[in-house]
Structure 1
Amino acid sequence: MAFLELKSVGIASLAAGALAAPTWALAQAGGAGAPPPAAAQAQPQPQLRPKSASTGDAKAPSAVEGVIVTAPSSQGVKASIDRLSYSLSKDLHVQSGSIADVLRNIPSVDVDVQGNVSLRGDPNVTILIDGQPSGMFKGEGRGQMLQQLPASQIERVEVMTNPSAAFSPEGTAGIINLITKQNRGVGLVGSLKANVGNGGRNNGGISLSHNARDLTVSGDAGWRRDAVSGTLDDERHAVDQAGGVSNTRQATRFKSEGDSTNVRGAVDYDLTSTTRIGGELRYNDMDFDSKSFSSYDTSDGAGLATQGYDRSTQARWKKSVEGLSTNARRKFSGTEHDLSINFSIERTLEDQDRQTLMQSRLPVAPDSYEVVRNGTDLVQTHLKAEYRKPLASGDKLVAGYEGQIDDNTYNNYGARGADAGSLIELPGLTNRFEYRQTVQAVYATYQHMFGKLTALGGLRVESAEIDTHQVTSGTGAGQDYVKAYPSLHLTYALSLETQVTGSYSRRIQRPAAQDLNPYVTYQDPYNFRQGNPDLNPQITDSFEMGLRRMHNGAFYMANLYYRRSRDGVTDISRDLGSGVLLTTKENLARGQNVGVELVVTGKLSKKLSYNVSGNAFWNEIESPEVVGDDSRSGVSFMARGNLNWQATPKDFFQINTFAIGKRITPQGWQAPTGMLNLGYQHRFNPKIAAIVTVQDALKTFGSKTYIDTPTLRDVNRRDFDLRAVYVGVTYSLGGANRNRPSDPKFDFEGGLNAAGPR
C-alpha cells in the first residue's frame, strides 16, 4: 500500500534476523554480544551494503554482529530486549484481509467491530509504520483506515508494551509497529494477488521492485472494495434533575460500500559503500457511500409515548492521504556505528457528508431535511536524526533528536429546512476549529552487560506546545510543558534457553485535537459530542517482569505487569433531557491495573504447529467527578489460539480464534465477544497458490456496551455483518535472493531504511 512503505528513521535497532542463540550466550562464547578488547579494536571497514560473496568480493559479515537479540525466531515469534515481533507469513488472512483483521490474531492486541485498537485493554495505542508516525492513524477515522488498509503489505507486527526512550512516549498502552514487506531478489521481483469475496467484497494488488547492486526502484498499487451491513440498537432510561423519567429506543439498519486505492513509488540508492539515500511518494484514497434507516421512540415513566420519528440518511465518507519521505544514512567504521536522518511530510484530508430526511410520527409534523458536513485537514511534518556508536567495552550508545508538527483544521457545518432548497444554517452546529501541536525531543539510550545481566537504560526529554483556536467563537487556549520520560530494560540469563526480563517506562497520552474543541458536534438527534479544552495529558508509569524460554523450537513467555495512571482521558455521557445524550471527555482521577500475559508457540508434530496466548488483568478506575468519589474495578481476559496443519506439501489449513471477556468502563462495562476464522491454501507450484479464507465463520463478533449510573442506564448494541468468504490467487515473480544481501539491522527492526537492501 502506498503509504505503508514509509521509510523509518534510524530508530535504535535492538534485534536482527535469525540467530541461533541469545546475545548473552554469544558473549559467553566470545561472540559479537561482548567482544574481547582485541576484537573490539579490530573494527571492520565501514560498508553499508556488503558485497556478495558469490562474486568473489569481500564476504558479507555475520548476521549476529552488533545485535542484542534475546531470543531467536520460533514459530513466527522473535523476542528482543524491548519488544516481541510476530511474523504474518503463515496467516492466510493476510492475502485477503485488512490490517484490522490480522491484528486480531496478535497477542495483547484487541480490535473492535469499528476497527478501534487497544493493547491489553487500553485504547491509547500509538501505531507506527516502519517506525514512523502517520496521520492515517490519528482522529476518529483511524479505525476505518485499519479496516481498509490491506494486510498483504505487512510482513510482521512488533508489539512494544514498554518501549525504550528511543521511541516517542505517546500512547500509554504502548506501540504497535507495522513492518512492511520488501521484495528481495535479483532484477525484477514482485507479486500479484486477486481475491473475490461474498457480498460485493473484492480486492487485488501488484507489487514490483527492480534490484541492482546500488539502486532499487520499487512500487506497488492496490484496490479494495468492501461492503458492510448491520444494525445498531440503543435503549436508554434517564432521570433528569427534576426527577422526570424518559425511556428512549433507537433502532438503525445500515449498509455501506465503497472503494479504496493506493499507489506508492520509492527509490533507494547507494552513493558510496557507506552512504545511502532514499525517497518515497505515496497516495491513498478511500470513498464510501452508506444508507441507513433509523426509528426513534420516546416514552415517559408511565410508558406513554411522547415522541416518535423516522430518519432516512444518505452519507458519504472520503479520506485521502498523500506523503513524501526522504532518508539518508552514513555508516562509519565499526559495526552499528552510523548516523541516520529521516524527513517526512504528509497531508490527510477527511470529509463526511450526511443528508437526512426526518419524518415525524408523534406529534404529527411536516417532514424536515437536514445536511451535516464535517471536514478535517491535517498536515504532519516529522524529522528524526539518530547517531549510534558501539564502544570498545562492548557497550552501545544511541542518541538522537526527534521533532513533529501537527497542523489540524476542522470545519463543521449543519443546516436544516423543509427541503434541500430551503436550508437554514444552524449556528450551534457550524464552526471552525484550528489546532497546532509542536513536540521536540532529545533522547539517549545506553546498553551495558554485567556478565549474564544486560541493561538498556534511556532518557527522553520532550517539550510540547499546543495551541487551539475556536475561530467561530473567537476563543483560544494553549499548553506548554517540558517532561522527562525514563526507560529501563533488563534481561538476566538463567541458562542458555531461559531468561528473566524486567522493564519500566513512563508514557503519556495527549488529548486528540478534536477532544479539545469546545463546540458541539452533531451525530444524530439523540447523540451529540463536545470536546473539553481543559483536558490534561494522561501520564502512565508501567512496570513489567517476565520469564522467556526457548526449548526445542518452542517459545514460552510469562509476563506480569502493573500500570498506574493519572488524568486518564475517557468518554463521559450525560443526559440532556428527553433521552438526548451529550458525550464529552474528562480526566479520570487515577487508574491502575495489574495483569499476567502468557504466550506459547510450538509444534504438536511435524505437520501441526500452534500459537496460544492469554491475558488476564484486574482494572480499577476512579473518577470522583463522575461517580461520586467511588471507584470501579473488575477482572477481564483475552485469549487467542491458532492451529496450522501442513496436510501435504501443497495443502495448508489454518484455524484461529479469539475471545474477549467483560471489560469495565468509567460508567459501565462492555460485554464479552469473540470470533472464529478459517483458512486453506493450495500451492500449485512455487509461484502460484490459491487461498480460501472465512472471517467470523460463526458470526459471533459484535459489540454491546452498558452505561449504569443512578441517573442513566443505556444499552448499546452493534451487530455488523463481518462474515466474509474470499477465494483468491497469488502469483510471485522474480529471481533468486542472492544479490543486495540483507542488512541485519534493517531486516528485523525496520530502522532507518525499512526497505533495506533487497
Structure 2
Amino acid sequence: MNQTEIINIFTKKTLGLTFVLSAAALAFAQEKVGISGSVVNKNNQPVPYASVTFSNKANKLFSDAALTDEKGQYTLQLAPGNYDVSVEAIDYKKSMLTKQITAAGNIGALSIEPEATATNLKTNEIQGVTITAQSTKPYKVELDKRTYDPSQDIVSKGGNLQDVLANVPSVSVDTDGTVSMRGSSNVKFLINGKPSALLGIDDGANALQSIPADQIERIEVITNPSSKFEASGTAGILNIILKKSKKTGFNGSVTGTVGYLPQTNLNTNLSWRKGNLTWFLNGGGGYRESKSTNRNDDYFNNAVLDDDLVQRNTDSENKNKSNNYNASAGIVYDITDKTSVNASGTVRTFDSENIGNIDYYYTYFKDPNSTSKRVTLGSNNNLAFQGDFGLDHKFNDKGQNLSLSLSLQRNRSYNDTDINQTRNGAFELQNIVNQNTINRSAIAKADYELPIGENSKLEAGYRLDINNNDYSNDVQQSTLAAPDLSFLPLYTYDANYKETFNAFYLQFKSKIGRLGYQLGLRDELSNVDIFYKNLVANKPAINTTKNYNNLFPSVYLSYEIAKDNQFLLNYTRRIDRPRSFFMIPNPNYNDNQNIFDGNIDLNPSYVDSYEFGYSISKKKFTINPTLYYRHQTDDTKMLVYNKLAEDENGNILIPKVVESHTKPINLGTDDRYGLDLNFNWDATSWLKFLGNVDLFGYNTKGSTVYDTYDHLGNPIQAVANFEGKGFSTRARLTTTVKVDKTLNFQFQGFYRGGQKTAYQDRKDMYAINFGASKTIWNGNATISFNIQDIFNTRAMRSTTYTANSVRDSYMQWQPRQFALSFTYRFKQGEKIEQPKKKKDINANDAGGDEQGPM
C-alpha cells in the first residue's frame, strides 16, 4: 500500500467519522421536555418502585423508562411525541395505555390493578421482595473487561480474596500465593477502582488473605486495560469491587466459618437506605493457620579440591498463625437528584506469627556427615487506614457527568525475625532482623463524561498519585567468633522512596453500524526520589531522582455479527514500574545463604499488548476465545551472583567469606503469546459448567557477563543466560450440580502443565476442590461446606540448573483444608436500579460503585 492510498483511506475515514458525529449531534440536539407523574392502585394509594416505560411510536431512540420513588412519583425527560406506556409492579397486573407528550408538566396518575392472587401488602411490607432478578451467569464479557461474580462460587465460601482469585477465569494463584494472569505475575490490584491500603505495600500475598470473600461483590478482570486506567501492571488489572447494597430499608447478612487447618471467621455486611441517605457498615475478623513445606536437593558439579561440597539437602517447614480484623463504614447523601456526595473509612489489622525450621545436610569429600539447622521465629503487625471522599454531579439526564474523588491512605508494617543456626548441634549464628515500613498515599482524580448522540461518548480525566514509603531496617548478629550481638553495618539503614505521578487521559468511544470503537491516549509524568542512609557504615547518603514522561495509547474495536455475538480487537501500551523495595540498596537479610540486593539503577520496562477475541453469549452458554501477544522490553530479571562479605567501611573480611546474592536487573525481552478460552454453559436446569483454558507460549531473551567469585573467594567472570522458550497450559473447570431449589454441589478441577526454560524444568500440577451449599429457613440462611485440594496434590516440583549445580525442588504452599460456613440474611429490601435503555453507552464503563479507575 503506497502513501497516496493511505492518505485516501485516512481522508475517507475522517470524512465518514465527521458525518456520523454530525448526524449524532443533530439527534442529540432533539429538544426534550420534563414530565412527571405518579402510579396509584385502585384505592388511589401510591405504588412505590413501579416500572414505567415510555416507548416512542415513531422513533425507538426516544424511548425511556423510570422507577417510581417511595411516594409513587417519577420524573423523566422525553422528546414530544406519541408514546405507548407500560406500568409494572410486584403483585400488580401489567397496565398498557397511550399518551401524547406535547409539553413539559405533570401527566397525572397512572392506575394499576392488583393480581387476583396478590397479597396486597402494605407499602412498608414490600421490603421482603426483590424485583430485580439476579443474573445466572457468573462470567460476563464486555468491550474492555471481563466480570466475574463470586456469589455462586461455593468452593471459596467462607474464604478470602486469595481463595476467590483461584477460581477466576484467566487468573492463577501459584503454590506460594503469587497471583498471575496468562502466565505473568505483574498484576495490578485495585479496590473499587483505586489502589488501596487494604492490600498493603507492594500487594503482598498476606494482604489478599485479609479480605473476606463474603465482602466481594464482583471481580473485574482487565487483561488489556484502556487509557482510562493507570498504565502499570503489564499482565493486567484485577479490580476488586466490594459490596455496597442498593436496596431500600435496612438490610444485612452475617457469615460465620470454622475449618481446618484451624480457621475461624465472622463477617457481616449491613446497609440502610431511606430517602436521600444511604449508609453501610462491613466488618469482621478471623483466625487462620497455614503450613508450607519446601524440600531442595542440590548437586554440585565443581568438586575440584577434596574438601569441596558435593551435595546439600534442605528440608524446611513453615507454620503461620494469623489474626485479621477489618471494618468499613460509609455514607452517600443525595443533595439533589443530580448531585451526591459520599464519604467512607476503612481500617484493617493483620497480625501473624510464624515458625520456620530448615534442616541442611551437607556431603563433603572430607566430612560426609555435616548438618546444619536453622530456626526462624517471625512476627508481623500491619495496620492500614483509608479514607475516601467523593462528589458526583449529573449535568443533565443525558449522561453528562462529573466525578471528583480523594483517597487518603496509610499502611504501617512491623516485621521482626529471630534466626538461630547450629552446625553439627553446636551454636553457629544468630540474627535479629527488624524491618519497619510506613506507606502514605494520596490519590486525587477527576473524571468527566460527555455523551454525543445515542452511541458516542467522550471521556477525559486527571489523576494525581503521591506515594511515600519510609523504610527502617536493622540486623544484629552474633557468632562463635563474636558472641555479643552487634549490628551488621550494610543492613542497618533508613530509606525513603517517594513517587509522584500526574496522569491525563482522553478517550472517545462510538459505533458505526455494527462496528464499535474506542480510542484513548494517556500521558503519565512520573517523578521518583530515593534517599538511602546507612546508619553504621561510614558511607555517604544516596540521593537519586528519576523522571519519566510516557504516552500510553489504547485502541479497542468490536464488530457485532448479531446480538451478543461479536469480534473484539484491541491494542494497549503498558509500563512495569519496579517495586519500591527493588530499588533500595541492601533491603533484605532474612537468609545469610541467599541475600537480596536492591538495584537503585533499575528502570521500568514497557509492554506492547495485542488481543483478538470472539464472544458469543446466549441464554444457556457464553464462549470467549482470545488470542493474545505481549512484547516486553527492558525486562526485569533476577541475577544470582557471589560476593565477598564486607565490614562497615567496605573492606573485605579476612578470612574471606563468600555470600550468595540476588539482584534485579534490566535485561533483554520477554514475549508471551497464546489462546485464552473462557466458557460458561448451562447444560441443563440442574447442571452448569464454568471453564477456562490457557494455552500459552513464552520466549525470553537476554544474557550478560558479570563479575563474581568462586567458592574460594577468587574473582571470576561468568555469563548469565536467561534465554528460554517453550509452551505450557493452564486449565480450570467448575461443575455445579443443582439437586433441588435449596441444595447445590460444586466440583472444581485445576491443571497447570509443565514449563521448561534454559535454566528450569517445572513439572505439571493439578488439584481438585469440592463444595456444597444448602439454603434453609425460607431462603434466609445458607450452610456451605468445602474442601480445598481433596487429594493433597497442589505442590510445585521443579529442577533448576546453574553453572555449577542442579537443584531438585518441592514446594507446597498449603496442605488440604476444609471449611464449614453459615450465612444468615435479614430484611432484604428492594433494589431500586433504573431500567436500562435499549442502547446504553455506559454499558462498557469500568470501575464499580466508585467509578473512575483513573
State the TM bucket, normalised to the shorter chain: 0.7 to 0.9
What amino acid is aligned across from residue 784 of structure 2 in structure 1? I
* Structure 1 position 489 matched with structure 2 position 568: no
Q: Aligned pair in 2 of structure 1 residues 697, 402: CA closer, same or farther (>3 Å)?
A: same
Structure 1 residues 305-314 or 323-332, which shifts more? 305-314
Separation of aligned partners in 1, 2:171 and 2:35: 40
Q: Which residue does 1:447 correspond to in 2? A: 509
Q: Which residue does 1:311 correspond to in 2? A: 374
Contact 1:225 1:257 in 2 (8 A): yes
Deviation of 1:499 (Å): 0.8
What amino acid is aligned across from residue 820 of structure 2 in structure 1? V
Separation of aligned partners in 2, 1:317 and 1:172: 30
Q: Which residue does 2:332 correspond to in 1? A: 268
What amino acid is aligned across from residue 527 of structure 1 in structure 2? N
Q: Which residue does 1:178 correspond to in 2? A: 240
Q: Aligned pair in 2 of structure 1 residues 532, 173: CA closer, same or farther (>3 Å)?
A: same
Task: Summarize deviations over 1:507-534 as a string: whole Å, max 9, x none.
Answer: 0010001001121521223221111111
What amino acid is aligned across from residue 704 of structure 2 in structure 1? E
- Tell me the SS of whatever aligns to 2:152: coil
Q: Aligned pair in 2 of structure 1 residues 708, 738: CA closer, same or farther (>3 Å)?
A: closer
Deviation of 1:618 (Å): 0.9
Structure 1 residues 291-300 or 281-290, which shifts more? 291-300
Identify which of 765, 769, 785 aligns with 1:673: 765
Separation of aligned partners in 1, 2:761 and 2:665: 17
Separation of aligned partners in 2, 1:478 and 1:246: 46
Task: Summarize deviations over 1:348-390 as a string: whole Å, max 9, x none.
Answer: 11121111332221xx754543211112111111111011000
Q: Which residue does 2:782 correspond to in 1? A: 689
Task: Summarize deviations over 1:102-154 as a string: whole Å, max 9, x none.
Answer: 11111111111232111101111101111111244464661111123211111
What amino acid is aligned across from residue 725 of structure 1 in structure 2? F
Q: Which residue does 1:205 correspond to in 2? A: 267
Identify which of 45, 48, 68 aligns with 1:52: 68
Structure 1 residues 128-137 or 702-711, which shifts more? 702-711
Q: Which residue does 1:106 correspond to in 2? A: 168
Q: Which residue does 1:399 correspond to in 2? A: 460
Structure 1 residues 503-512 or 578-587, which shifts more? 578-587
Q: How does 1:472-511 map to 2 (within 5 A)?
A: 472=534, 473=539, 474-511=541-578
Separation of aligned partners in 1, 2:25 and 2:140: 27
Identify which of 352, 361, 386 aligns with 2:415: 352
* Structure 1 position 728 matched with structure 2 position 813: no
Separation of aligned partners in 2, 1:184 and 1:623: 52
Q: Aligned pair in 2 of structure 1 residues 99, 407: CA closer, same or farther (>3 Å)?
A: same
Structure 1 runs not aligned, ≥5 long: 1-33, 63-71
Structure 1 residues 623-632 or 447-456, which shifts more? 623-632
Q: Aligned pair in 2 of structure 1 residues 277, 252: CA closer, same or farther (>3 Å)?
A: same
- Tell me the SS of whatever aligns to 1:346: strand
Q: Aligned pair in 2 of structure 1 residues 447, 45: CA closer, same or farther (>3 Å)?
A: farther
Identify which of 449, 453, 456 aligns with 1:388: 449
Q: Aligned pair in 2 of structure 1 residues 60, 374: CA closer, same or farther (>3 Å)?
A: farther
Contact 2:456 2:841 in 1 (8 A): no
Deviation of 1:184 (Å): 2.9
Greater relative contact order (Cα 8 A, min sep 6): structure 1 or 2? 1
What amino acid is aligned across from residue 226 of structure 2 in structure 1? S
Q: Percent same amino acid at aligned positions?
A: 25
Separation of aligned partners in 2, 1:499 and 1:676: 34
Structure 1 residues 715-724 or 451-460, which shifts more? 715-724
Structure 2 runs not aligned, ≥5 long: 1-22, 37-64, 79-133, 645-656, 706-718
Deviation of 1:713 (Å): 2.8
Structure 1 residues 667-676 or 495-504, which shifts more? 667-676
Q: Which residue does 2:697 correspond to in 1? A: 618
What amino acid is aligned across from residue 779 of structure 2 in structure 1? P
Q: Which residue does 1:3 correspond to in 2? A: none
* Structure 1 position 289 matched with structure 2 position 289: no
Separation of aligned partners in 1, 2:763 and 2:212: 29
Task: Summarize deviations over 1:73-109 as a string: whole Å, max 9, x none.
Answer: 6622222111111111200144311111111111111
Greater C-alpha Rg? 2
Q: Which residue does 2:49 correspond to in 1? A: none
What amino acid is aligned across from residue 352 of structure 2 in structure 1? F
Structure 1 residues 433-442 or 366-375, which shifts more? 366-375
Deviation of 1:664 (Å): 4.6
Q: Aligned pair in 2 of structure 1 residues 253, 752: CA closer, same or farther (>3 Å)?
A: closer
Q: How does 1:213-612 map to 2 (within 5 A)?
A: 213-238=275-300, 247-300=311-364, 302=365, 304-305=367-368, 307-361=370-424, 365-366=426-427, 368-392=429-453, 394-417=455-478, 422-472=484-534, 473=539, 474-519=541-586, 521-575=588-642, 581-612=660-691
What amino acid is aligned across from residue 409 of structure 2 in structure 1? E
Separation of aligned partners in 2, 1:650 and 1:303: 69
Contact 2:497 2:529 in 1 (8 A): yes
Contact 2:142 2:844 in 1 (8 A): no
- Tell me the SS of whatever aligns to 2:206: helix
What amino acid is aligned across from residue 507 of structure 1 in structure 2? R
- Tell me the SS of whatever aligns to 2:739: strand
What amino acid is aligned across from residue 407 of structure 1 in structure 2? N
Separation of aligned partners in 2, 1:265 and 1:372: 36
Contact 1:405 1:436 in 2 (8 A): yes
Separation of aligned partners in 2, 1:738 and 1:139: 36
Q: Aligned pair in 2 of structure 1 residues 556, 40: CA closer, same or farther (>3 Å)?
A: farther
Deviation of 1:666 (Å): 7.1
Separation of aligned partners in 2, 1:40 and 1:695: 58
Contact 1:125 1:174 in 2 (8 A): yes
What amino acid is aligned across from residue 410 of structure 1 in structure 2? Y
Deviation of 1:689 (Å): 1.2
Q: Aligned pair in 2 of structure 1 residues 213, 570: CA closer, same or farther (>3 Å)?
A: farther
Q: How many residue pairs were aligned? A: 710
Q: Aligned pair in 2 of structure 1 residues 421, 397: CA closer, same or farther (>3 Å)?
A: same
Contact 1:105 1:657 in 2 (8 A): no
* Structure 1 position 651 matched with structure 2 position 730: no
Structure 1 residues 189-198 or 37-46, which shifts more? 37-46
Separation of aligned partners in 2, 1:40 and 1:601: 42
- Tell me the SS of whatever aligns to 2:190: strand
Contact 1:185 1:734 in 2 (8 A): no
- Tell me the SS of whatever aligns to 1:521: coil
Contact 1:404 1:440 in 2 (8 A): yes
What amino acid is aligned across from residue 611 of structure 2 in structure 1? E
Q: Which residue does 1:41 correspond to in 2? A: 30
What amino acid is aligned across from residue 172 of structure 2 in structure 1? D
- Tell me the SS of whatever aligns to 1:92: coil
What amino acid is aligned across from residue 337 of structure 1 in structure 2? Q
What amino acid is aligned across from residue 540 of structure 1 in structure 2? V
Task: Summarize deviations over 1:569-613 as a string: whole Å, max 9, x none.
Answer: 133333559995322112231111210111111111111111111
